[in-house]
Structure 1
Amino acid sequence: MRIQGRTDIPLNHAGREQAVDAVGALRRYDWDFLVSSPLSRAAETADVIAAGLGLTVTQRIPSLVERDYGLAEGLGAGAELEALRESGGTTGNGGFRGAEPEGDVADRGVDALRMLARDNPGARIIVVSHGTLIRLSLMRVLGRPIPTIDNAALTVAQSGPGGWTLDVLNGEVLEPATPSSV
């Protein structure tokens, strides 16, 4: 229950179990390959999933790292974290002084997704990344709020000629929606 951000914290036992469990949900689809964040917790998750599905991790993409929370990284709820909160509402930093602006996080996540879609037309790619990056990137391409992304939960988004669609969020199949043109 601490803010991890870009701090390269290794995957723990619970995370390994979540990665193994994720393989079952991912088996419902046909996948071509995996990419991941280079942070060790995401990279190991991708390796576990790849082994379980008989696939290959083809890239560790630096722009898929989690948001940099600055001085808030490593902190849990309490006075020290509260002292870093920005007052006066939304400033683009998501509430913490010195944090990477949410818009910058969304930009690099969307850039990575667009690059993958451009370089691999029609490919079904598993992207193993981090909750905040995933949530902010989806909000940008879909143009709507997205709730917290659960650890090792299946979220399926598609890029097509009509834009982006979100088919599964945190393991829950969604009703078909109109694609976003972002």
Structure 2
Amino acid sequence: MTTIALVRHGQTDWNLAGRIQGSSDIPLNDTGRDQARDAGRRLSGRGFSKVVSSTLGRAVETAQLIADQLGLTGPDERIPDLVERAYGSAEGVPGEDLPLLYPHGVPDAEAEPEVVARTRRAMIDLATRFPDDRTAAATHGGVIGRLLRDLPSSDFPSRDHQRVLNGSAWIFEVDGDDIRFVEELSPTAEQ
């Protein structure tokens, strides 16, 4: 059984402004760096021996800061399948404007089932290559949220307005093709 903690990257200026980031490569801000360090502290003492990330800079820096807190180097790998959903022409748009601009959905956005499929593929690949390991993977809110909603063992969102917060960690167990949600290690409040 392999344990994988999917950690949402720390805050960026676009997160703060409520803009859709998608695959745009927006860097962490100072609050985001603090959130990444905090995520590393929450994962500390849990036996994580490897840190990986998506290929986007905000996830790579989050992984580096987590690795520092765990006494590791990293990220050990940058995994393209862990990148955020591509939102096409909606990237940079304030999230509150999406329903007005795209009432029938963003036509050039990546399909949600593809996001789930590639996230599953990345997790199963990590579990196959590193069986019985514990890996922290810095990724994105859309990746984590879509996977959680897809898993029958997850009741996400379990609370009204539950979100995948910046710096939150979501623990999964992977056994073969089976992915099971285990635990949420989120900050107590949005920073």
- The normalised TM-score by structure 2 is 0.78
1:6 and 2:23 equivalent? Answer: yes
Change in 2 beyond 3 A, CA 1:163/1:79: closer
Change in 2 beyond 3 A, CA 1:26/1:144: closer
Which position in structure 2 is the counterpart of 1:113?
123
- Rounded Cα–Cα distance in structure 1 between residues aligned with 2:144 and 2:98: 27
Which position in structure 2 is the counterpart of 1:48?
65
Change in 2 beyond 3 A, CA 1:39/1:161: closer
Which position in structure 2 is the counterpart of 1:63?
81
- In the alignment, residue 158 of structure 1 is paired with which amino acid? E
Runs of 4+ in 1 over 2 A off after TM superposition: 77-81, 137-148, 160-165, 169-172
Q: How does 1:8-47 map to 2 (within 5 A)?
A: 8-47=25-64
Q: How does 1:1-182 map to 2 (within 5 A)?
A: 1-56=18-73, 57-77=75-95, 79=97, 82-86=100-104, 95-142=105-152, 146-147=156-157, 148-160=163-175, 163-171=178-186
Which position in structure 2 is the counterpart of 1:176?
none
- Rounded Cα–Cα distance in structure 2 between residues aligned with 1:120 and 1:157: 14
Is the 1:70–1:98 contact (alpha carbons within 8 Å) kept by the matching residues of 2? yes
- In the alignment, residue 23 of structure 2 is paired with which amino acid? R
Is the 1:150–1:170 contact (alpha carbons within 8 Å) kept by the matching residues of 2? no
Provide the alpha-carbon RMSD of the alignment: 2.1
Change in 2 beyond 3 A, CA 1:18/1:2: same
Identify unmatched segments of 5+ residues in structure 2: 1-17, 158-162
What's the CA shift for 1:42? 0.4
Change in 2 beyond 3 A, CA 1:80/1:61: closer
Change in 2 beyond 3 A, CA 1:145/1:51: same
Per-residue Cα deviation, 1:88-109 (whole angstroms, up to 9, x for no partner): xxxxxxx322211000111111
Overall identity of the aligned pairs, in %: 37
Q: Secondary structure at the match of 2:55?
A: coil
Per-residue Cα deviation, 1:115-160 (whole angstroms, up to 9, x for no partner): 0011110000001100111121233344655333111112101113
- Rounded Cα–Cα distance in structure 2 between residues aligned with 1:85 and 1:169: 32
Larger Rg: 1
- In the alignment, residue 37 of structure 1 is paired with which amino acid? S
What's the CA shift for 1:168? 1.3
Identify unmatched segments of 5+ residues in structure 1: 87-94, 173-182
- The normalised TM-score by structure 1 is 0.82
Q: How many residues align?
A: 164
What's the CA shift for 1:35? 0.6
